[in-house]
Amino acid sequence: MLDQIAALRRQAEEDLAAATDRAALDTFRITYLARKGKIAELFDALRTVPADQKPLFGKHLNALRADIQTLFDQRSAGASDEHRPSPSLDLTLPGRRLFTGSKHPLTQVLDEIKAIFVSMGFGIADGPEIEDDYHNFGALNFAPDHPARDMQDTFFLSKQALLRTHTSPVQIRVMEQHPPPVRVIMPGKVYRNEAISSRSYCLFHQVEGLHVDVGVTFSDLKGTLISFIKQFYGSSLKYKFRPTFFPFTEPSADIYITCFVCGGKGCRLCKQGGWLEILGCGMVDPNVFRSVGYDSEKYTGYAFGMGIERIALLRYGIDDIRLFFENDLRFLNQF
């Protein structure tokens, strides 16, 4: 067996000397050093050697494997890459176009609304999305048996904790922390326990506004919102105030504008009526002032609120609110 070891050493050294590139070295490694190579075959044959001779033959085999491995490593370190296959890359091809992100359509609408009100002297306030019953309902003059407290409308987390159903609780928190005058808008997410459809969703965004000071009147409210409407929708649209009811304002109104698709003639978007409701507003109820410690005999104020999704649906002519939340690039790339 010693003759076999010596013969394999000579043959391996000759083949290694003849290997001049990476491909030949890979062939050599597989032939001699792989798990099923020629050196491994001699180790397998060691089992047939008498027991008293195994230490001697094993010593020579280990030396053979170590020597050949060392020679192979040295040879590999200096091998040429000349015959290595070049990567399949065509440098003459045009580069791939990079896709850049953009603002979500809801963010674009929200930023535009905030910019308009900031230009009119409003600050921006924020508050928690998990609210307590007092700030979400009680302090806003909601009666204990008001339908909005029902589980059909509100996501209750416990008897007192809930996901806010509007951004009006931020108004309460602002007035609790700051004495008049107050002039802020409150943008943010709100949650309603509603069936998801093309026209409603369990999550949406609102922007509410509040102005409290001495001598604030309904005329101030109209002037502010009419200025907003003209800047956001255009000065050519007509508008009207229609009386309505909100627990936290009195008197209260909804604002309608002429449909900017049909010009007031009637279409599918405005349900043939020619008018579109865009926001609700009113003078802050004195009970709300008493909840936050304001003197309702001295101070007056107005509040308003609008849904961002509704405004975006109307502006872009979108007929399904769910598109805003599905992250479909085919939809978002249009903006």
pTM above 0.75, yes or no: no
Who wins on pLDDT, 190 or 15? 190
Burial of 332 (0-12, 13-18, 19+ CB in 10 A): middle
Q: Tokens 């508008």, residue?
A: 239
Q: How many CB atoms lie within 10 A of CB 267?
A: 14
pLDDT tens for residues 218-274?
999 999 999 999 999 888 778 899 999 988 999 999 999 887 667 677 776 677 778
What DSSP character marks residue 263? T
Q: Helix (H, G, I), strand (E, B), or coil: what is residue 167?
A: coil
Higher pLDDT, 316 or 127: 127
The answer, yes or no, to whether residue 335 has pLDDT greater than 90, is no
Average pLDDT over residues 284-291: 94
Return the pLDDT at 153. Answer: 82
Residue whose C-alpha is closest to residue 227's, from 212, 209, 244? 209
In the chain, what are the domains?
2-77 (no CATH), 105-332 (3.30.930.10)
211 near 226, Cβ under 8 Å? Answer: no
For the stretch 90-121, pLDDT in tens is 778 888 888 778 889 999 999 999 999 999 99
- pLDDT band, residue 159 (cuts 50/70/90): confident
Assign 124 a pLDDT band (cuts: 50, 70, 90): very high
* Adjacency order of strands within the sheet including 249-258: 123-124, 182-191, 203-213, 300-307, 275-284, 249-258, 239-246
Tokens of 19: 């290997």
pLDDT in tens, 162-197: 999 999 999 999 999 999 999 999 999 999 888 888
pLDDT score recorded for residue 228: 93
In angstroms, the CA 38 to CA 61 distance is: 11
How far, in Å, CA of 21 to CA of 315, rounded?
Answer: 68
Confidence tier at 12 by pLDDT (50, 70, 90): confident
- Helix (H), strand (E) at residue 183: strand 182-191
CB 141 within 8 A of CB 108: no
pLDDT of res. 237: 79
Is 300 a residue whose pLDDT tops 90? Answer: yes
Is 135 a residue whose pLDDT tops 60? yes
SS3 188: strand
SS3 category, 213: strand
